[in-house]
A and B are shown apart, each in its own frame.
Chain A
């Protein structure tokens, strides 16, 4: 394990040189934080690339990749973007075939990280930012992953097609017959955000809500990034779900979309990131991981991406409703993981797809 040795040595070197003993973890179990050292950058440059599987919207993922490439010339990022459930399926497929193609992963379904951690295929890596600037509950106690991003799964509508007064205020409002044939919704079989949101909504409102919703002639799309796009095209008037950050991006580009945070509470979707033990480019993976959690990158995904960040130094963008002012549904990745199959099969039975 050439890579491991190298890092341990560089880590020792770095910590002794800089004397950052302050970094002694607040939680006893959390591995010590690793800074970005010139050696790490050098080693990453030697590897020259990093493969990132992510479910974040493709243009945003590319922006992150470009920012990284600009900061560390010589290391290129290959973005593999699909829905979180397919990311998960593919990593499963690949690992079962002993194919180690992926370096770093980011999923909108936090439950996936729990599975991978249990399977022992993740590498622990705590960046300086994670240790210093993240609330402890958003960093895995073993340092296997941390919350790279968060977003909500609100309701939204096309302001050209729906008047503000008419717009739904809650999930229950969507069951009004006047919305029949006007709704668009993504699929928990493909999208991690939607799976998480489905879990939370079903838990809080009961499956009867989905049963009633399924009679509303909903247009079913795959990814949670797609309902916002269908909304902006004017293909449907109201999006039942869909990730907040794409809505925000489109609103800020001038699309006629408005977000509604439903009165029952808005599902919160946390998207953790991790790197793999058998990453083909281990050093580049670490460097990239450090970059993802840096203030710079976090501010980028908030500003340009419309995502929510747990980084203490990151500022919310003007004009967006701060997280604190929104009633949230409670996140519970462990429960999601236990119910994945049940959620999907119930959903498929109701919506027929």
Chain B
């Protein structure tokens, strides 16, 4: 081989084309993350213990009232929560985004606080507040009205109570979607109505609110799905109330002797409902030209509320009292009380729970450590993965990018508890034996949070016009340089938001963890759940408060990383 090298095929690029390996590698990662557990579920649902095909599981599912009832309960619950969230969040979103409501910053921060609160912690707090007899609210009610010992104002151990408590910690999703959409509606659209003679209220009713409708719809859907797949709150509140939801039912199937096949079969309806709903939403959104939202314009002109400003603020604070003030008050009180149901007094004051959790209880340190480690790792890896997928699909950089995008959003339709089952089935036997390690929890968290991170980064990437990158490339930058110099800095706030989102999600997550933890891999949410099982409210309160402090500290820290906020995001040109 001495002569000239064989001529390169004409028109072939020199050097290796990295897009194919990258694509394949990512597809493999996503398949392992998503396809593996789901296929394991599907497989176990249709075979019996000896591996012979059977439809017995499904037959039982449809005929046994022990499954039909929880299904109906779950649907009622999810629908009610969704409606409640929309009814509460839409007005608050509008007030905050579009009116001259005072203290909007405070309101937004408090909504964030309710978002950060794990739903199961909220449920415990509301147990302390609204258990029919020992609940603080009911005690006050009785002492104020002189009502008999059997009478109560509110009962958290009921369907209504469960709906209320779930809605308290789900409405922030709707709020964020609605207020963001309202923030982005160009004020010229409102001005156009005003110029035609539309008065303030009329403009709001005819222009602003209809334009925010798709966001509201999307929010309602998210709330529905969240309520449907939630495990912690029903496990804490529904059982004492005497009913099951699908998630608690699936969980109970793992009592001895475990019935993974039945659990898998029971999980599939949840999956189907989610997929149908998401499709329906796409169809509904695709039909109307709602993409107007996102034009260029100055700051929206706030609607003047006039005398209604203060009552409006009162309304917001009343809602936030339910999700933040009252529950946290109850937790703090319980953390430092001997008997949580007795009034605050010097006698009743104690540090015993703090001491117990921090110094005596041997599980605390490990769980804190695990939770923190998993939070940081899942947030970092999950955001990284989501970023790559968002970039490849957003810029259509590789063939098959659609499939990637689909895989990255697919976990939305997998309830945590179902994913937990699937992962358990997948990773307890060779070739992947990960059960018992933190890896399996990491995989679960990344999978669960991937869609949210992907969505966030995808929309952040949309705001970065591809021409910004191309402008850099034509001036001599390679793809990577363009990414580093232009895309990355412009995405930074989006990336940080996604990171925090995943981190918070990991701290809140209980449903998959409850299936996957072992002694060495316990996380705080599971510890809290265990403590609740034996009724140790004081310890739960201390742990819950500690967990929130950590979450807040991390989120604040991440947002303070130097170099942020140096520029105002803007879209030059059209």
Q: Consider the complex of A and B and state whether they touch directly, i.e. have CB atoms less than 8 Å apart.
A: yes
Contact (Cβ within 8 A) A223 B535:
yes
Does residue B302 face the partner (Cβ distance < 8 Å to A)? no
Contact (Cβ within 8 A) A221 B239:
yes
Contact (Cβ within 8 A) A65 B362:
yes
Chain A residues whose C-beta falls within 8 Å of the C-beta of B431 in the assembled complex? none
Residues of A74-120 contacting chain B, CB below 8 A: 76-83, 85-86, 88-90, 92-94, 96-99, 101-102
Contact (Cβ within 8 A) B534 A93:
no
Chain A residues whose C-beta falls within 8 Å of the C-beta of B518 in the assembled complex? 90, 94, 99, 101
Contact (Cβ within 8 A) A222 B243:
no
Does residue A169 face the partner (Cβ distance < 8 Å to B)? no
- Which of A26-34, A140-148, A227-235 binds B? A227-235
> What's the Cα separation between A29 and B498 when bound, in Å?
64
B→A interface (CB under 8 Å): 66, 69, 131-135, 149-150, 157, 238-240, 242-244, 252, 254-258, 339-341, 356, 360-363, 366, 424, 428-429, 433, 435-436, 518-520, 522, 530-531, 533-537, 539
Chain A residues whose C-beta falls within 8 Å of the C-beta of B530 in the assembled complex? 81-82
Contact (Cβ within 8 A) A233 B131:
yes
Chain B residues whose C-beta falls within 8 Å of the C-beta of A92 in the assembled complex? 256, 258
> What's the Cα separation between A83 and B530 when bound, in Å?
8
Chain A residues whose C-beta falls within 8 Å of the C-beta of B531 in the assembled complex? 58
> What's the Cα separation between A85 and B252 when bound, in Å?
11
> What's the Cα separation between A229 and B339 when bound, in Å?
10
> What's the Cα separation between A198 and B131 when bound, in Å?
26
Distance to closest chain A CB from B512 (angstroms): 14
Distance to closest chain B CB from A16 (angstroms): 37
Chain A residues whose C-beta falls within 8 Å of the C-beta of B363 in the assembled complex? 78-80
Distance to closest chain B CB from A48 (angstroms): 13
> What's the Cα separation between A223 and B535 when bound, in Å?
8
Contact (Cβ within 8 A) A351 B242:
yes
> What's the Cα separation between A94 and B516 when bound, in Å?
10
Contact (Cβ within 8 A) A226 B533:
yes
Distance to closest chain A CB from B300 (angstroms): 49
Contact (Cβ within 8 A) A97 B436:
yes
> What's the Cα separation between A94 and B436 when bound, in Å?
7
> What's the Cα separation between A220 and B149 when bound, in Å?
20
**Nearest chain A residue, comparing its CB with the CB of B244:** A353
A-B pairs, 10 with minimum CB distance: A229-B535, A99-B436, A233-B134, A97-B428, A235-B134, A226-B535, A97-B435, A225-B534, A233-B341, A101-B519
Chain A residues whose C-beta falls within 8 Å of the C-beta of B66 in the assembled complex? 348-349
Distance to closest chain A CB from B125 (angstroms): 14
Distance to closest chain B CB from A112 (angstroms): 8
Contact (Cβ within 8 A) B255 A235:
no
State whether A235 and B131 are in contact (beta carbons under 8 Å apart), knowing that A62-B361, A189-B255 are contacts in the complex.
yes
Contact (Cβ within 8 A) B256 A89:
yes
State whether A220 and B256 are in contact (beta carbons under 8 Å apart), knowing that A59-B356, A82-B533 are contacts in the complex.
no
Contact (Cβ within 8 A) B157 A62:
no
A→B interface (CB under 8 Å): 51, 53, 57-59, 62, 65-66, 76-83, 85-86, 88-90, 92-94, 96-99, 101-102, 161, 181-182, 187, 189-190, 217-223, 225-226, 229-230, 232-236, 255, 340-341, 344, 348-349, 351-353
**Nearest chain B residue, comparing its CB with the CB of A351:** B242
6 pairs from A and B in contact (CB 8 Å cutoff):
A65-B362, A81-B530, A86-B255, A219-B157, A233-B134, A344-B255
> What's the Cα separation between A351 and B252 when bound, in Å?
14
> What's the Cα separation between A351 and B244 when bound, in Å?
11
Given contacts A78-B519, A229-B534, A233-B133, 19 further A-B contacts (CB under 8 A): A51-B519, A58-B539, A62-B356, A78-B362, A90-B518, A93-B428, A98-B433, A101-B436, A182-B150, A219-B240, A219-B242, A221-B240, A229-B536, A233-B339, A233-B341, A349-B66, A352-B242, A353-B238, A353-B243
Contact (Cβ within 8 A) A353 B239:
yes
> What's the Cα separation between A351 and B360 when bound, in Å?
37
> What's the Cα separation between A351 and B69 when bound, in Å?
13
**A225 in complex: contacting residue of B132, B433, B435, B535, CB < 8 Å:** B535
Chain B residues whose C-beta falls within 8 Å of the C-beta of A344 in the assembled complex? 255
Contact (Cβ within 8 A) A220 B242:
yes
> What's the Cα separation between A93 and B517 when bound, in Å?
10
**B256 in complex: contacting residue of A78, A88, A97, CB < 8 Å:** A88
**B255 in complex: contacting residue of A65, A85, A226, CB < 8 Å:** A85
> What's the Cα separation between A161 and B148 when bound, in Å?
11
Contact (Cβ within 8 A) B433 A353:
no
Chain A residues whose C-beta falls within 8 Å of the C-beta of B254 in the assembled complex? 89
Chain B residues whose C-beta falls within 8 Å of the C-beta of A98 in the assembled complex? 433
Distance to closest chain B CB from A9 (angstroms): 30
Contact (Cβ within 8 A) B361 A58:
yes
Distance to closest chain B CB from A131 (angstroms): 30
> What's the Cα separation between A77 and B134 when bound, in Å?
35
> What's the Cα separation between A217 and B533 when bound, in Å?
20
Chain B residues whose C-beta falls within 8 Å of the C-beta of A233 in the assembled complex? 131, 133-134, 339-341
Distance to closest chain A CB from B255 (angstroms): 5
Distance to closest chain A CB from B368 (angstroms): 14
Distance to closest chain B CB from A192 (angstroms): 10
Chain A residues whose C-beta falls within 8 Å of the C-beta of B134 in the assembled complex? 230, 233-235
> What's the Cα separation between A232 and B131 when bound, in Å?
13
**B341 in complex: contacting residue of A187, A190, A234, A340, CB < 8 Å:** A234
State whether A99 and B435 are in contact (beta carbons under 8 Å apart), knowing that A65-B362, A219-B157, A225-B535 are contacts in the complex.
yes
Contact (Cβ within 8 A) B341 A58:
no
Distance to closest chain A CB from B432 (angstroms): 11
Chain B residues whose C-beta falls within 8 Å of the C-beta of A97 in the assembled complex? 428-429, 433, 435-436
> What's the Cα separation between A23 and B467 when bound, in Å?
88
Residue in B255, B363, B534 with the greatest tally of chain A CB atoms within 10 Å: B534
Distance to closest chain A CB from B214 (angstroms): 39
Residue in B239, B366, B535 with the greatest tally of chain A CB atoms within 10 Å: B535
Contact (Cβ within 8 A) B239 A234:
no
Chain A residues whose C-beta falls within 8 Å of the C-beta of B131 in the assembled complex? 233, 235
> What's the Cα separation between A88 and B258 when bound, in Å?
11
Chain B residues whose C-beta falls within 8 Å of the C-beta of A57 in the assembled complex? 534
Distance to closest chain A CB from B510 (angstroms): 14
Contact (Cβ within 8 A) A58 B536:
yes
Chain B residues whose C-beta falls within 8 Å of the C-beta of A89 in the assembled complex? 254-256, 258
Distance to closest chain A CB from B527 (angstroms): 10
Contact (Cβ within 8 A) B257 A341:
yes
Contact (Cβ within 8 A) A220 B239:
yes
Contact (Cβ within 8 A) B133 A235:
yes
Chain B residues whose C-beta falls within 8 Å of the C-beta of A96 in the assembled complex? 428
Distance to closest chain B CB from A93 (angstroms): 7
Chain A residues whose C-beta falls within 8 Å of the C-beta of B435 in the assembled complex? 93-94, 97, 99
**A161 in complex: contacting residue of B149, B360, B366, B539, CB < 8 Å:** B149
Chain B residues whose C-beta falls within 8 Å of the C-beta of A53 in the assembled complex? 519
